């Protein structure tokens, strides 16, 4: 992967806006739209940078919300402001048509123009913005997404993964103020997903464009997002910083059956004898199998609630490597009557355990109590 491909032309926005709080920065979405059988009504203040996942099951309204932001649902009413630019204010009769909104949209099925070559597809948007506004060059976009060798092909000669990468490059080439992605991986099989994810992560790492990323796949969300909006039946169930939101216990069952937390750890030590790597995070450390990552690199991992158990003392003689001292925060019901979810604080990092109600009572768990969390496994997210 060409590490020299950095889109230097895209600094963290221009000058003062980056640090100006409130009014100018941020994405304000206060929209509602009603269809015959579905109603979307959201009120959101999202950060003006980083990846925000719109997460929910099908029919939750996440794609509709994205389309409203793009201006593709003219029936939507309300207010929409993206980093200081107002695109819609129905009370004032303002509705900026989609082609005048500086956004990039990646559709679920790449939707390349079948009558144009890859190059002409990429140039379609690029040619329609003023030369002075072009912050991304064709060469940069194609290198970033690894599609240089496909330029002269027609879309029907591309694989699904290649098509999706071309779709992303095409959207980027309009130098958007915001990138909207509608389940860009959903139409792909597991292997193609793995092929695309690294490119998405590069987008995240190398561009400073806020991204709204629609997904129903928790694994994608925790791997890519910084913030998350959980949608259900057209309403916002929860919204906030990814780790805090994923650790929340007051969400509907639909979200708790797959409960867990996301932690970012810094590679602190490699143990070549046992083939392990230590990841440090605020309040503790975990050992994971040996990673090919240089010291100091930050890796994101997920700890499923079902992989965490609790003990009232530091257990000896266990095969479990990762033991952390924690303080119980909160205990709530889980997806079945037999289980409870226990939220804990591991020195600043939230953890969630899914244990049986019987264990909870036998251990006399209550908020404030000090316990030991045993982590059976962690899932590294790229």
Partner 1 sequence: MSSLSSADWSAVWLTLKLATVSTVILLLVGTPIAWWLARTRSKWKGVVGAVVALPLVLPPTVIGFYLLLAMGPNGPVGQLTEALGIGLLPFSFAGLVVGSVIYSLPFVVQPVHNAFEAIGRRPLEVAATLRAGPWDSFFNVALPLARPGFVTATILGFAHTVGEFGVVLMIGGNIPDKTRVVSVAIYDHVEALEYAEAHWLAGGMLAFSFLVLLALYGRRDRTGGGLG
Question: Measured between alpha carbons, how far is 319 from 337 in angstroms, rounded to an integer?
Answer: 29
DSSP for 157-220?
A: GS-HHHHHHHHHHHHHTT--SEEEEE-TTTTS-HHHHHHHHHHHHHHHHH----EEEEES-HHH
Q: Which of 107, 213, 255, 301 binds partner 1 (CB under 8 A)?
A: 107
Q: Minimum Å distance from CB 64 to partner 1?
A: 13
Binding partner 1 (rule: CB under 8 A), the pick from 125, 161, 265, 284 is 125
Applying CB under 8 A, the span of 33-41, 78-86, 94-102, 327-335 interacting with partner 1 comes to 94-102
Rounded to an integer, what distance in angstroms lies between the CA atom of residue 370 and that of residue 359?
16
Q: Which stretch binds partner 1 (CB under 8 A): 27-35, 57-65, 99-107, 296-304?
A: 99-107
Cβ neighbours, 10 Å, residue 225: 26
Q: Judged by CB under 8 A, does residue 38 bind partner 1? A: no
Considering only the stretches 48-56, 124-132, 287-295, 319-327, report the one whose residues sit in contact with partner 1 under the rule CB under 8 A: 124-132
Q: Which is nearer to partner 1, 111 or 359 (CB)?
A: 111
Radius of gyration of the chain (CA): 23
Contact track, partner 1, 54-83, x by CB under 8 A: ----------------xxx-----------
Choose, by CB under 8 A, the member of 5, 20, 124, 357 that binds partner 1: 124
DSSP letter at 12 equals S
Residues 174-213: x/- map of binding to partner 1 (CB under 8 A)?
Answer: x---------------------------------------
Cβ neighbour number for residue 147 with a 10 Å cutoff: 23
Greatest alpha-carbon span in the chain = 69
Helix (H, G, I), strand (E, B) or coil at 40: strand
The neighbouring-strand residues paired with 272 are none
104 near partner 1, rule: CB under 8 A: yes
Burial class of residue 222, CB neighbours in 10 A (0-12, 13-18, 19+): buried
In sign, the C-alpha dihedral spanning 196, 202, 203, 205 is: positive
How would you classify the pairing of strands 103-106 and 178-182? Answer: parallel
Q: Is 20 in the site for partner 1 (CB under 8 A)?
A: no
**Residue 105 binds partner 1 (CB under 8 A):** yes
How many whole angstroms separate alpha carbon 291 and alpha carbon 26?
Answer: 36
Cα–Cα distance for residue pair 139/128, rounded to 1 Å: 17
Nearer to partner 1, 174 or 322 (CB): 174
Q: Integer distance in angstroms from the first to the last C-alpha of the chain?
A: 15
Q: Which residue, 173 or 225, is less far from partner 1 as judged by CB?
A: 173
Q: Is 36 an interacting residue with respect to partner 1 (CB under 8 A)?
A: no
111 scored as a contact of partner 1 (CB under 8 A)? yes
Give me the least distance between CB of 2 and partner 1, in Å please: 26
Say how many residues touch partner 1, by CB under 8 A. 22
Nearer to partner 1, 214 or 351 (CB): 214
Stretch that binds partner 1, among 5-13, 93-101, 210-218, 308-316 (CB under 8 A): 93-101
Output the CA angle 64-70-74, nearest 5 degrees.
70
Q: State in angstroms the smallest separation of the CB of 163 from partner 1.
A: 13
Q: Which of 17, 34, 85, 113 binds partner 1 (CB under 8 A)?
A: 113
Find tokens 């597809």 and name the residue: 121
Q: Which is nearer to partner 1, 210 or 265 (CB)?
A: 210
DSSP state of 270: E
Residue of 270, 347, 258, 266 whose CA lies nearest to 303: 258
Chain contacts with partner 1 (rule: CB under 8 A): 70-72, 97-100, 103-105, 107, 111, 113-115, 124-125, 128-129, 170-171, 174
């Amino acid at each position: 992967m060409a590490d020299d491909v950095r889109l230097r032309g895209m600094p963290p926005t221009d000058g003062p806006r980056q640090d100006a709080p409130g009014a100018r920065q941020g994405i304000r979405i206060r929209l509602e739209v009603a269809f015959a059988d579905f109603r979307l009504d959201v009120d959101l203040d999202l950060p003006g940078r980083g990846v925000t996942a719109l997460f929910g099951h099908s029919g939750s309204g996440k794609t509709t919300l994205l389309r409203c932001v793009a201006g593709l649902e003219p029936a939507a009413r309300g207010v929409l402001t993206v980093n200081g630019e107002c695109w819609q204010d129905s009370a004032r009769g303002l509705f900026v048509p989609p082609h005048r909104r500086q956004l990039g949209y990646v559709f679920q099925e790449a939707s390349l123009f079948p009558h144009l070559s890859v190059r002409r597809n990429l140039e379609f948007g690029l040619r329609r913005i003023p030369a002075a506004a072009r912050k991304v060059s064709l060469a940069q976009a194609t290198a970033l997404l690894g599609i240089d060798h496909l330029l002269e092909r027609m879309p029907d000669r591309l694989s699904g993964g290649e098509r999706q990468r071309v779709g992303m490059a095409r959207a980027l080439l309009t130098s958007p103020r915001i990138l909207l992605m509608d389940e860009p991986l959903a139409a792909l099989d597991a292997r193609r997903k793995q092929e695309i994810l690294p490119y998405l992560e590069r987008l995240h790492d190398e561009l400073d464009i806020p991204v709204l990323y629609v997904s129903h796949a928790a694994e994608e969300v925790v791997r890519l997002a910084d913030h998350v909006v959980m949608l259900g039946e057209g309403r916002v169930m929860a919204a906030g910083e990814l780790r805090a939101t994923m650790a929340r216990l007051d969400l509907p069952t639909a979200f708790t059956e797959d409960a867990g937390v996301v932690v970012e750890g810094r590679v602190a030590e490699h143990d070549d004898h046992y083939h392990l790597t230590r990841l440090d995070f605020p309040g503790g450390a975990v050992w994971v199998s040996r990673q090919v990552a240089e010291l100091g690199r930050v890796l994101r991992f997920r700890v499923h609630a079902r992989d965490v158990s609790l003990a009232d003392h530091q257990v000896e003689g266990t095969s479990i490597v990762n033991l952390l001292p924690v303080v119980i925060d909160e205990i709530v019901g889980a997806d079945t009557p037999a289980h409870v979810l226990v939220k804990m604080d591991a020195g600043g990092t939230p953890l969630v355990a899914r244990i049986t109600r019987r264990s909870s009572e036998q251990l006399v768990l209550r908020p404030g109590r000090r316990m030991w969390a045993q982590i059976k496994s962690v899932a590294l997210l790229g």
